[in-house]
Amino acid sequence: MSTNTRRLVECVPNFSEGKDPAKIKEIVSAIESVNGIQLMGVDPGSDTHRTVVTFIGSPEAVAEAAFRGIAKAAEVIDMRSHKGAHPRMGATDVCPFVPVEGVSMQECVEIARLVGARVGKELQIPVYLYEEAASRPERSNLADIRRGEYEGFARKIKEPQWKPDFGPSELNLRAGATVIGAREFLVAYNINLNSTDKQHATEIAFELREKGRVGRTGNTKPFYFKGKKLVYAEGQFPCASCDHVAKSLEEAASHCNSDHGYDLLKLLEANEVELPEVLGKNAYKPGIFQACKAIGWYVDDYKRAQISINLTRPSLTPPHLVFEEARQLAAQRGLRVTGSEVVGLIPLESLLASGRFYLEKQGKSVGIPTQDILSAAVVSLGLNEVAPFDISKKVLGYSEPKPQALIQMKVSDFTNEVSRESPAPGGGSIAALGGALCAALASMVANLTHGKEGTETKDPQLEEIADEAQKLKHELLSAVDDDTNAFSAFMDARRLPQSTPEEKALRTAKMQEGLKLAIEVPWQTAQASFRAMELASKCVELGNPNSLTDGAVGVQVGFTGVQGGVWNVLINLKSIKDEPYCQTKRTQSVEILARAKNLLATVSAEVDKKLGI
């Protein structure tokens, strides 16, 4: 109901430091030194030796904060001594910009290019652009750019096809190289296993991720790596550097990711080894989910293996579907998924979708408060298992009312505030509250009736009523404060100076704007309250007979919202000079008030008859 002109960009830089709190604090402080930045999260991991920082702000503020964070990371992190479980290529490994509100993807692309050019020039760090900001298609995928990691980049950067987009064409030995880009919102999501074996997580990750796993066509006999040749083995994969014997190609590749030998799978993919023709060809077996990247690792802090997942399009592949599939794949291997964690932030709609999914599986109504749906998701996904999950801090788009908001007051305090001599909060706020209570009662009756014996044919309609009523309740609660704020805007305009003709003209224009705002808020209150009345009347018809009067009271207080809203529209129209606007609003007000009166009379007569009045 209130207008919103915010322009927000999210930035999620990943820094190659997860063990030293002092260094992490220096980087975060550099980011927070920019005015207008809101720090949303700092997630360090000692095993991955990596910290994910999340912050939002205006495009200009975010661009400056990102540069300062990258500069400070280059100052305090020395990649020459860095080791961690997560792939990385620089002190600031990756720095994406994500459109959140009022900002286009193209604007985020421009931010990425501006910051990248500055990092390359001022810090002398090689910069590669990725995802939507990529300078060429083969650089879109972060994994392709990062392949070889820090240790292999001194050689890789010399290859013509890997010339950086910005900065020097040689590795900055201290800071490494950095990938900067623009992308859609990504959910960094880890699934926990009741195992300490990294290979268990890797096996499931290969099944889940879009890329799938390497398979073989042609001759599929087992082989192992020795020198620069692949040699056949009889049903086993011995390491060329130690006594370890793997039972699968994936296990051999995982083992060789350590200091023993080479990364077998990467060498196979890149054709960098001498391949006997009889071996056949590599082929990928596609994974289950699109827009899903996954690897397995062991986290010593939690004493367990995790499936580490990036969901690059959470609307297409939501966390709960991946979680459920992982549970089945784990069970097939004698394992159990014990919970999960979100690194950084998750969009409100993604977590709401998860909550609705589990409520529906339980046969419960989803027409309940947003907080309750989110809590259902947190419990069902086990998001509190390895670290506390704070909805107010972890869910992007979820906002609790400000502490000073009227609807945050106790009922007694709000009533006392209304009773004071100040003109606001007044009738408009009370009307909105009446409409909100109507919607709340409609939802209550629908939920009380839903899922009971004999209501099977009604349940779909009852669930729709409860769901819509919750949305109306939220809208009308916002209007309680919006009405007071709108009146305050008019009063502020009245206080403007009027010493000169120009000042008088400006004051008049601002007063007219304030009056129209003071009209639009109660008009929307009237509309939402009437719809809440309709839902409550449906509950009188469909609801549990024992809740008859609850639905009827909802209709009664909803009428207060309609009539109060209309009265506040009409009293302010007399000061509006725009006659066509006034005529339209008068006609609309008369129509909706007549419909509300008719509905109230119909429901009241029906309830009175049932009660024997």
Q: Supply 209's token pair.
A: 């991720």
Rounded to 5°, the CA angle 161-164-170 comes to: 100
Q: By C-alpha distance, which of 444, 289, 304 is closest to 365? A: 444
Please tell me the distance from the alpha carbon of residue 389 to that of residue 398, in angstroms, as a whole number.
Answer: 14
Q: How crowded is the C-beta side of 249, counted as CA atoms within 13 Å?
A: 18
Pairing, β 395-396 against β 14-15: unpaired
DSSP lists the bridge partners of residue 283 as 215
DSSP lists the bridge partners of residue 229 as 226, 274
Q: Is 562:530 a contact under the CB 8 Å cutoff?
A: yes
DSSP lists the bridge partners of residue 223 as 232
Q: Is 163:169 a contact under the CB 8 Å cutoff?
A: yes
Q: Of the listed 86, 200, 255, 450, which one is catalytic? A: 86
C-alpha distances out from residue 230 to 45, 227, 278, Å: 36, 8, 11
Q: Supply 247's token pair.
A: 């039972």
Please tell me the distance from the alpha carbon of residue 573 to that of residue 582, in angstroms, as a whole number.
Answer: 6
Q: By C-alpha distance, which of 258, 288, 276, 66 is closest to 179? A: 66
Q: In angstroms, how far is CA 216 from the centroid of its own chain?
A: 38
Q: Annotated catalytic, 483? A: yes
Q: Of the listed 43, 263, 481, 483, which one is catalytic? A: 483
Which residues lie below 8 Å from residue 577, measured CB to CB, with a gap of 6+?
512
Total H helices, total E strands in the chain = 18, 19
Residues annotated as part of the active site: 86, 483
